[in-house]
Structure 1
Amino acid sequence: MPELQAPIRGGAYGGGQIVGHPLAELYEEVAFVAYHFHWSLEDIMALEHAERRRWVSGISRINQRMNEATTHE
Structure 2
Amino acid sequence: MRLPDAPRPPRSCLDLARSPTSALDLDAMRAAAWHRHGVVALSVEDIADPWLRQAIANEANRRWGRRDGGTRHGR
TM-score w.r.t. the length of structure 1 is: 0.30
Q: If the length of structure 2 is used for normalisation, what is the TM-score?
A: 0.29
**Richer in helix (by share):** 1
